[in-house]
Amino acid sequence: MTFSRETDHGTPPAIATGKSVTLTIDGQSATMPEGTSIMRAASLTGCSIPKLCATDNMESFGSCRLCLVEVEGRAGYPASCTTPVADGMVVRTQTDRLKQLRRGVMELYISDHPLDCLTCAANGDCELQDQAGAVGLRDVRYGYDGATNMGQAKDQSNPYFDFDPSKCIVCSRCVRACEEVQGTFALTIENKGFESKVSPSQGEDFLGSECVSCGACVQACPTASLIEKKVVEIGTPDRAVITTCAYCGVGCTFRAEMRGEELVRMVPWKEGKANRGHSCVKGRFAWGYAQHQDRILNPMIRASVSEPWREVSWEEAIAHTASEFRRIQAKYGTRSIGGITSSRCTNEETFLVQKLVRQGFGNNNVDTCARVCHSPTGYGLSKTFGTSAGTQDFDSVMKADVILVIGANPTDGHPVFASRMKKRLRQGAKLIVIDPRRTDLVQSPHVMAEHHLPLRPGTNVAMLTALAHVIVTEKLYDEAFIRERCDWDEFQDWADFVSEPARSPEAIEPLAGVKAEEVRAAARLYATGGNGAIYYGLGVTEHSQGSSTVMAIANLAMATGNVGREGVGVNPLRGQNNVQGACDMGSFPHEFSGYRHVSDDATRGLFEQAWGVTLDGEPGLRIPNMLDAATDGRFKGIFIQGEDILQSDPNTHHVAAGLAAMECVVVQDLFLNETANYAHIFLPGSTFLEKDGTFTNAERRIQMVRKVMAPLNGYADWEIVQLVANAMGLGWSYDHPAQIMDEIAALTPTFAGVHYDRLEAEGSLQWPANEAAPDGTPTMHIGGFVRGKGKFVVTDYVPTDEKTGPRFPLLLTTGRILSHYNVGAQTRRTSNTAWHPEDRLEIHPSDAENRGLKDGDWVTLRSRAGETTLRALITERVAPGVVYTTFHHPETQANVITTDFSDWATNCPEYKVTAVQVSASNGPSEWQQDYASQARNSRRVVPLAAAE
């Protein structure tokens, strides 16, 4: 693909009314939907009307006055961006008079703009420059001795972009982008008239302002006033490749804009159906890790973890890997090794890793990082609805009337989707937030939750059942829907169960700590407020009753008829870019791709036939059970692709003990991660920029990942897995990931229609995509549930065994922050650390006061599992008795604290509830010190040249 700017029709499409009008533009007849602007109509007809303040991802504004047109029978020269088309209208967009007016306006613009085009970073990629040319401006008769806004200091505080007010034309596109697209309202125009100036917050610099660095303003800027530092450094791009972001489960599509082999910038792609042209600070800017000096580019091996690493050739590394696995299996048995697939890798890579385990290792010991995040989603939604996935596409939120957010913090975790949700909220949808913390959604500029239920961590099921109690006892349920779509007897069992007085909001008030009246009001709103859509995150799943909570959510949606159309549904906000895909691809030890149990003979037969081996019909081990088996001496080798279980999994001591007990730990990753401290073989991985493949986002959307540069490590990850497989004698012969997808399609009914040629042509597909749904499935369960009748499951509240007591009186819950992603392996290696250089412990002022803590003090955080130290952040975001931290920095070792209690059905760890004590401290804990020294020791590398 060569470089061309995306077509900009100037104004968004009209809100569909079904009516259309016919008009004449420059002699051409055009039929347009009612409400379309003249500007858009002209653009679609092929007439280009000059414009500066208009861009088609924002409402028209009408300030630049370049787009004036003539309309027959109307006085004056209406702005084409703000004037809708009308039947029979005759529009002229190019007349001498218009040229004269446009030149007059442009002359004014240029009278207050520096004439340094030749040395300007945006030279050649500047709308002002283009439009000055388009209107034929040749002279500025005002001279340059008048007042100007030039010569103002540049703001270079943001690590990724500069703001040069001298080049600003005050079109307000940045301000509007911040409001309309991002919903942060961090920008304004300061002063008025000639002194109007773009101002971050209160006239401060961008970094110190409310700006969240989503990049929407930079993208919107038509001049070099807001420009990426990389463009200044490298120059304007000369080609662009469409690809998919490798951060969270939103799955934003980007244009990777390149200059030669260098990536200049990532710009959100307007055609991207998940992000609709928007981005966040991670996807937009935080890709520098791909070139970070910490990346390991050569394979390495060592006999024991106390030795330094020895760089070796790929051949040696692969051969050693294969031989170690075979040696271990020969000695300890087939089931003594396993693998972990990565939610950050592509579907194709994930599929290959599980295939390696099932076909090559001959067992089902494959698991994935979804174990620690959304495994309860898979279990719960599969049991109730019949499909282990969310029911909607993201667009659906724009039709929701009541949005219920449970245990999710989308403005930090899924910011691009949060922006759309906030847009819908600004349009008037109502919001209910169930979360122990006062997240940004509860109250932030222009967003205010109708009800916030700040429940005590660990009481989700009790709370959801109380909501159900209100809906059932007040007869707010949708009987027609239930009778038609669900099993009525099961509903009645469930209704009887939830109706018991012990499950009323009043009964659980002492337990959950939320006023019963507020719970009742929230239940009524959800049940009766129109389209009710539930969005949830890890605050639902990462509990001892994660699966029950998911089923309780599904029960609520079914009871109120909020499934099976746009604007409703049950929507897990997936944590990682491809966690949906990794699960779809058969990464769980009990099921093949497409969620089919390994014990099912027909399915197994299909795979056995395709792969030419006999497959194990017994489920394999889950990650924690692998670690137990390792500690017991029965599990000796593991292949871990792109996951840092030591940092991300709970009870670090337990993980470390398990890993230490193994004979061959193979880590495939970009960096020497924490798990690699216990590894014997390190296979350098490739980034999403260096390979082809697909990711599946939280809305089941399969999107292309495209190689924009050659892998620095020499191989894409799928190639490395293939090398290992072939070294183990599996005889794979994939030349391109497209062939892997063909195999997936052939073996997986829900993916039957997914092929690269279709993805290329259509941009994306939402599974199921097969004969029954040739165009994919944006909304699931229309007309009926996948499993047949929707199943109401009785979800009894079973308190966690992790309990507070005199020694551990506080409850710790964990989460993430906007600028960082999971364990931070990527984002810590970018300038995103400017926003969040360390993990902090949020503690309520009263709890801090009781302990004599001041903001910023070092504190020891201690649980039954271990202790760590970090600095305190005193805030009323958390309730008294609750503390909160993120887990982005390995120094913090937050998972030293978390216990190995887990979800009863899936063993998803109970990250969100740990009983802790907090006390003043003066430095790092013993474990942190030991660990730091061991990590240093473990990371010694003898380079290839020296090793030879």
Partner 1 sequence: MSDEPHVMSTTQRLVYMAEQIARNFAALGEDRTVTALAEHLTSYWDPHMKDQIVAIARDHPDSLSPPVAAAVARLAQGRTPAGPNPAQFNAVDEVGHCDAG
Partner 2 sequence: MTRVFISRDMASAALGADDVARAFAEAGCEVVRTGSRGLFSIEPLVEVETEQGRIGFGPIAPRDVAAVLVGSHAQRLGRVEELPFFAGQQRFTFARCGIIDPLSLADYAAHAGWQGLEKARGLSPQAVVDAVKASGLRGRGGAGFPTGIKWQTVLEAASSTKFIVCNADEGDSGTFADRMLMEGDPYCLIEGMAIAAHAVGAGHGYIYIRSEYPYAIKTMRAAIDASAHLIAPFTLEVREGAGAYVCGEETALLDSIEGKRGQVRAKPPLPALQGLFGEPTVINNVLSLAAVPFILAEGANAYAAVGFGRSRGTMPVQLAGNVRHGGLYEIGFGITLGELVNEIGGGTASGRPVRAVQVGGPLGAYFPPSMFHLPFDYEAFAQAGGLIGHAGITVFDDSVDMAHMARFAMEFCAAESCGKCTPCRIGSTRGVEIMDRIIGARDAAPVTVSEANGGYLGKALYSRSPDRIDVSIEAQTSLLRDLADTMKYGSLCALGGFTPYPVLSALDYFPEDFGAAAPAKEAAE
Partner 3 sequence: MEEFIGAWLSANGAARDRLLPLLHAIQEEAGYIDDALVPVIAKALNLSRADVHGVITFYHDFRRRAPGRHVVKLCRAESCQARGAAALEVQAQDRLGVAMGETRADGQVALEPVYCLGLCAIGPNALVDGRPVARIDGAVLEQIAVEVAA
Q: How many residues bind partner 1 (CB under 8 A)?
A: 66
Which tokens belong to 405? 């957010």
* Residue 366 · residue 588 · CB < 8 Å: yes
Q: DSSP secondary structure string, 319-343?
A: HHHHHHHHHHHHHH-GGGEEEEE-T
* Residue 92 · residue 78 · CB < 8 Å: no
**Does 616 contact partner 1 by CB under 8 A?**
yes
**Does 167 contact partner 2 by CB under 8 A?**
no
Among partner 1, partner 2, partner 3, none, the one that 109 touches (CB under a kind-dependent 5 to 8 A) is partner 2
Q: How far is CA 796 from the centre of its chain?
A: 31
Among partner 2, partner 3, partner 1, none, the one that 641 touches (CB under a kind-dependent 5 to 8 A) is none
Cα separation, 745 vs 759, in Å, equals 13
Return the range that interacts with partner 3 (CB under 8 A); candidates 97-105, 445-453, 721-729, 908-916.
445-453
Return the range that interacts with partner 1 (CB under 8 A); candidates 48-56, 64-72, 753-761, 902-910.
902-910
- Amino acid at site 796: D
**Does 805 contact partner 2 by CB under 8 A?**
no
Return the range that interacts with partner 1 (CB under 8 A); candidates 225-233, 473-481, 769-777, 898-906.
898-906
Q: How far is CA 863 from CA 53, 892, 898, 913, 922, in A?
A: 56, 14, 7, 11, 18
Among partner 3, partner 2, partner 1, none, the one that 772 touches (CB under a kind-dependent 5 to 8 A) is none
* Residue 236 · residue 260 · CB < 8 Å: no
Q: Which residues have C-beta within 8 Å of that of residue 124, sequence separation ≥ 6?
A: 236
Return the range that interacts with partner 1 (CB under 8 A); candidates 191-199, 325-333, 558-566, 685-693.
325-333
* Residue 621 · residue 635 · CB < 8 Å: yes
Among 514, 621, 665, 759, binds partner 1 (CB under 8 A): 621
The 10 Å Cβ neighbour count of residue 524 is 16
Which tokens belong to 120? 């300007």
**Does 294 contact partner 1 by CB under 8 A?**
no
Return the range that interacts with partner 1 (CB under 8 A); candidates 254-262, 298-306, 630-638, 662-670.
630-638
**Does 647 contact partner 3 by CB under 8 A?**
no
Among 634, 755, 851, 871, binds partner 1 (CB under 8 A): 634
**Does 199 contact partner 2 by CB under 8 A?**
no
- Residue 105 CB, shortest distance to partner 3, in Å, is 23
Among partner 2, partner 1, partner 3, none, the one that 95 touches (CB under a kind-dependent 5 to 8 A) is none
**For partner 2, which is the closer residue by CB, 99 or 634?**
99
Which tokens belong to 268? 């959100």
Hey, which residues between 219 and 248 contact partner 3 (CB under 8 A)?
none
**Does 783 contact partner 1 by CB under 8 A?**
no
Return the range that interacts with partner 2 (CB under 8 A); candidates 81-89, 212-220, 418-426, 447-455.
81-89
* Residue 348 · residue 342 · CB < 8 Å: no
Among partner 1, partner 2, partner 3, none, the one that 447 touches (CB under a kind-dependent 5 to 8 A) is partner 3
**Does 731 contact partner 1 by CB under 8 A?**
yes
Q: What pairing do the DSSP bridges indicate for beta strands 20-25 and 28-33?
A: antiparallel
Encoded one letter per residue, x for contact with partner 3 by CB under 8 A and - for no contact, window 197-216 reads: --xxxxx-----xx------
- Residue 125 CB, shortest distance to partner 1, in Å, is 54
**Does 865 contact partner 1 by CB under 8 A?**
yes
Q: Where are the alpha helices (DSSP H) in 184-302?
A: 216-220, 229-234, 281-285
**For partner 2, which is the closer residue by CB, 118 or 147?**
147
Angle between helices 460-473 and 505-512 (to 10 degrees): 160
Among 21, 106, 186, 356, binds partner 3 (CB under 8 A): 186
* Residue 129 · residue 123 · CB < 8 Å: yes
**Does 170 contact partner 3 by CB under 8 A?**
no
**Does 625 contact partner 1 by CB under 8 A?**
yes
**Does 144 contact partner 2 by CB under 8 A?**
yes
SS3 content of the chain, % helix, strand, coil (to 5): 35, 20, 45
Q: Which residues have C-beta within 8 Å of that of residue 761, sequence separation ≥ 6?
A: none
**Does 787 contact partner 1 by CB under 8 A?**
no
Cα separation, 348 vs 705, in Å, equals 11
b (16+ CB within 10 A) / e for 188-208: beeeeeeeebbbbeeeebbee
Name the E strands within 567-680. 569-572, 591-592, 596-597, 637-641, 664-669
Q: 3-state secondary structure string, 686-735?
A: CCHHHCCEEEECCCCEEEEECCCCCCCCCCCHHHHHHHHHHHCCCCCCCC
Among partner 2, partner 1, partner 3, none, the one that 76 touches (CB under a kind-dependent 5 to 8 A) is partner 2
Interaction site with partner 1 (CB under 8 A): 319, 322-323, 325-327, 329-330, 332-336, 359-360, 362, 364-365, 497, 544-545, 548, 589-590, 597, 599, 613-614, 616, 618-622, 625, 628-629, 631-632, 634, 653-654, 727-731, 794-796, 798, 801, 803, 805-808, 864-866, 899-900, 904-907
Interaction site with partner 2 (CB under 8 A): 60-65, 68, 76-77, 79, 81-84, 100-101, 104-105, 107-109, 111-112, 141-148, 151, 169-170, 172, 188-189, 191-196
